[in-house]
Amino acid sequence: MLLSYKQQKLIIIVGFLIIPLALLVTFSFYPAVKLLYLSFTSWDGLSPTAPFVGLHNYRIIFTNSTMWTVFLHNFSYFIGGIVQNLIALFFAVILNSAIRARNLWRVLIFLPYVLNSVAISYMFKFVFQDTGAFNLILQHVGLSGLAHSWLGNTQIVNWTLAFVSLWKFMGFNMVIYLAALQSIDNELYEAATLDGATSFQQFRFITLPNVMAIVQINMLLTVSGALEVFDIPFVMTNASPDTATFVTQTVNTAFTFNNYGLASAMGVVLLIIVIIVIGIQRKLLGGGEDVI
Amino acid sequence: MAKWRSILRVSATAGIGFALIAGCGNAANNATNNAGGGAAKTTSPGINPAQVQGSITFITHRTDLVANGTFQKWANQFKKLYPKVTSVKFQSITNYADDVKIRLNSGAYGDALMIPPGVTMQQMPDFFEPLDNLGLDDKTYFGRYDAYQGKTYGLASGVDGNGLVYNKAVFKKAGLSGPPKTLNEFYKDCAKFKKMGITPIALNYEAKWPLGVWDQLAPAIAKNANYFNTLKNNSAPFTPGSPIAQNLKIAYTIVKNGWAEPDFKVTDWEGSKSDFAKGKDAMMLLGNWAISQFESKGIASKNVGFVPFPYDNTGKHMAIIGPDYFYGVAKNSGNKPTAEAWVKFMIEKSNYANSQGFIPTLKSQKATLPQIAEFEKTASKLLQSVPGDSTVTQIENTAQIDIGGGGYVQSLLNAPNFNQYMAKLNQEWNSAKQQVSP
């Protein structure tokens, strides 16, 4: 049977797409729709039926203040994320210029991103224990006055955890900034140097505007990451009341308190919050091209 | 109560590396066999040996016992009893409670398994087979615990007592003649240990579940085994002075006076066990299941003592005993007679309970763990815990106050003012109560 070129093209496209689409629908779309459905029920995880309760779960979320105080903990990760972006941009600019062994530095900085998140959290848990590696090193170099209870002190613990997140993701941000920097035409810099611009002026007037769209993307990732952080507090401090985040609370609600309906509603609310925050951020950081 | 069991759940799974006293276990096993007065092949009512054949799959939370071959030894014993059985396959799950609940939904949960916490009594008939025909309901502790509409759906694998585990050598070093007999004596001992630089009592805040014991003495304080179930009619159960508030006050006092570990928010369970074995901690409030875990970390059995916790100053204290995981037979099992025979075998003939440091479920079997004798002697009465009322569980879940779970105790220990926090708990309990049963 001779198929026309158009038909062959269609068959090949469909043939390649059908498996990924099937997986996407099964493991992404269907659960998302089911989540939305469950958020309007009070399913307890075991009953064959899920009783419909309308907006009851959403009402609980918006009238219960304890749900929102945990966002204070997420805030630490947000600040950590901003610092992380600044440091990443700094390293990207430095490692974009011609310095010795710059590939080695790039690899070393990126390596934490490749490591498994749970393994990192577990490792840092032992590093930051009261008698752990970090305090020991401080003692050895004579800075024992700086030794704190990194995980026990209520004021410090969230910043400790934010640092672990920074350590992991800074390399990833840096790599993205590097790619953006390399797309800037070198002639612009040469022209600027000829005209007598200092390196800071070059950074401010050439680098930054061209990189702004990428900064936006990274900030989007940072903000949504900060709102959704789960593994670091869960592994390092078992999501204790000092360090609980919105997602650890959601998981608790579902699996400890058998309230899958409320937990699903919390998931939907988190999505709405992320959309709102990203919207605000886009307005503030200016339009830029629609890179997404 | 579902939450009581969830502690034991996590405790057992957290205890990897039990010292298996296989030799002594077998001796005790034979002794009870003979004492039972029956030959090994006595037919039990409802179990027809002719039907016990083929293979079954048993799902357990004891990853350590599957890995070190202990379960295989019991499987071999079982096969000798019922030669037509071809094999008993084992599946062990690390995060048992959560993972098995999901498997219950899927319909593929083996032939026999441990019943996960969180299954309400009304849901039992949907997932499990009645076990009344095993004839064990009245011969075991908690035989009617997992019962619904007159049928029993689960039989306990072992019985735990909740009490104070203490290091006898450390007590001797402090010049104390024995464990505290009153609450004031307990506080005095704590102050003494702190002066000596020894942690008086380890709380294990970080793991969360060890804090679950700090409201479990309330039924003893209230002298009512049914205390928790009465809370469904109580709109202010946490008022200071109430049994549960009294219990929580003890934990709060310990933290306020610095009698817990110096870094109590950070120490992990495994490290804490080693600290106890090394003599850095004097006491811990846990259950008898923890004793073999401590011994596996190097402390000699003669140095470990176990008594009921002195929750008041009367000098006489009740001890609460509760069931560990329950055995259940899957409703959609393809080989129910063999699965039921396996459950019966595990309770009656295998030395599971004694080798793991539990009190045996079968009332006729004696506990071999030496500390249990001390425990039972010191207790004025053994209070058997009762099944949790589903309304109370619903209120707990709605208020997110996990009685027996330890989560809300973590927040309590952070609170600057005890009475204020109790008032907050009352508020949350009351509003949840209105929601659940208006």
Instruction: Find the CB nearest B266 among A45, A152, A241.
Output: A152
Q: What is residue A132's DSSP assignment?
A: S
- Nearest Cβ partner for B266 among A130, A255, A257: A130
A251 chain-B contacts, CB cut-off 8 A: none
Shortest alpha-carbon distance between residue A241 and chain B (Å):
6
CA gap B151, A275 in Å, rounded:
52
Handedness of CA B130, B134, B136, B137 (dihedral sign): positive
> Which residue in chain B has the smallest CA separation from A48?
B105
Residues 6+ apart with CB under 8 A from A135: A129, A144, A147, A148, A150
Distances (CA, A) of A65 to A42, A44, A69, A155, B278: 20, 23, 7, 21, 44
In the prediction, which pLDDT does B42 show?
Answer: 42
Q: Does B105 touch chain A (CB under 8 A)?
A: yes
State what percent of residues in chain A have pLDDT above 90: 55
User: What angle do helix axes A102-114 and A154-182 make, rounded to 10 degrees?
Assistant: 130
Dihedral sign, CA of B404, B405, B408, B411?
A: positive
Of A197, A185, A195, A211, which Cα lies nearest the Cα of A90? A211
Sort out which chain A residues have CB atoms less than 8 A from B118's CB and list them: 45-46, 258
pLDDT above 60 (res B16): no
pLDDT of residue A168: 94
Interface touch B410/A154, C-beta < 8 Å: no
Q: What is the rounded radius of gyration, in angstroms, for the C-alpha atoms of chain B?
A: 22
Residues 6+ apart with CB under 8 A from B324: B5, B8, B12, B156, B157, B158, B159, B160, B289, B358
Using CA atoms in the order B134, B42, B61, B7, what is the torsion angle rounded to 10 degrees? Answer: 60
Residue B14, pLDDT score:
39
DSSP letter (8 states) at residue A177:
H
Instruction: Write the pLDDT tens digit of every residue in A46-56.
Output: 888 889 998 99
CB contact under 8 A, A256 and B123: no
**Region B407-421 average pLDDT:** 92
Q: Output the six-digit token pair for B107.
A: 């319909």
First and final CA of chain B: distance in angstroms?
23
Closest CA to A251 of A239, A242, A243: A239
Q: Does the beta-carbon distance from A256 to B407 stay under 8 Å?
A: yes
Write down the pLDDT at residue A216: 85
- One-letter amino acid at A1 equals M
Q: Please, what is the average pLDDT of chain B?
A: 84
pLDDT in tens, B103-150: 888 888 999 999 988 788 888 898 999 998 888 878 888 888 888 888
Distance from CA of A48 to the nearest CA of B (A): 8
Report the C-alpha gap between B428 and A67 in whole angstroms.
13
- B44 token code pair: 């039990």
In this complex, the residue of A47, A129, A256 whose CB is nearest that of residue B266 is A129
As beta bridge partners, residue B200 has: none
pLDDT of residue B307: 93
Substitution target from B266, B410, B431 for chain A, most A beta carbons within 10 A = B266
Is the CB of residue B106 less than 8 Å away from at least one CB of chain A? no
Q: Is residue B123 within 8 angstroms of chain A, CB to CB?
A: yes
pLDDT value of position B148: 86
Taking CA–CA distances from B127, the nearest residue in chain A reads A46
B207 contacts in chain A (CB < 8 Å): 238
Task: Name chain A contacts of B395, Cβ cutoff 8 Å.
Answer: none
* pLDDT tens profile A60-115: 999 888 888 888 899 999 999 999 999 999 999 899 888 889 999 999 999 999 99
Q: Which of A46, A270, A73 is nearest to B125 (CA)?
A: A46
CB contact under 8 A, B402 and A242: no
Instruction: In whole angstroms, give the CA distance from residue A261 to residue B390.
Output: 18
Whole-number Å distance between alpha carbons of A238 and B406? 12
**DSSP assignment, residue B49?**
G
For the cut 50, the answer to whether the pLDDT of residue B41 exceeds it is no
CB contact under 8 A, B265 and A257: no
pLDDT in tens, B212-261: 899 999 999 999 999 999 999 999 999 999 999 999 999 999 999 999 99
- Verify whether the Cβ–Cβ distance A130 to B405 is below 8 Å: no
Interface test with B, best of A53, A258, A259, A262 (most B CBs within 10 A): A258
Phi-psi region of A116 (alpha: psi -120 to 50; beta: other; left: phi over 0): beta
Which amino acid is residue B13, in one-letter code?
A: T
Nearest Cα neighbor of B330 from B342, B321, B339 is: B339
Residues of B in Cβ contact (< 8 Å) with A257: 396-398, 400, 402
Quick one: pLDDT at residue B18? 33
Question: What is the model's pLDDT at position A289?
Answer: 52
Q: pLDDT category, B22, cuts 50, 70, 90?
A: very low
CB-defined contacts A:B, below 8 A: 62
Q: Render B220-261 in DSSP notation, one character per residue.
A: HHTT-TTHHHHGGG-S-TTSBTBHHHHHHHHHHHHHHTT-S-
Residues of A whose CB is below 8 A from B398: 257, 259
CA distance B119 to B127: 9
Higher pLDDT, B27 or A202: A202
Q: Calculate the CA dihedral of residues B381, B387, B389, B395 and round it to 10 degrees.
A: 80
How much is the pLDDT for A47?
82
Positions of chain A with pLDDT under 70: 1, 286-292
How far apart, in whole angstroms, are the C-alpha atoms of residue A96 and residue A182? 7
Partners of B405 on chain A (C-beta within 8 Å) are 256
Interval B356-376: pLDDT, tens: 889 999 888 888 888 898 898
The pair of three-digit structure tokens given for residue A174, joined into one six-digit string: 């840096």
Facing B207 at nearest CB: one of A46, A238, A258: A238
Q: How far apart are CA A199 and CA A193, in angstroms?
A: 8
B208–A240 CB contact, under 8 Å:
yes
What is the pLDDT, as a whole number, of residue B218?
93
pLDDT of residue B46: 67
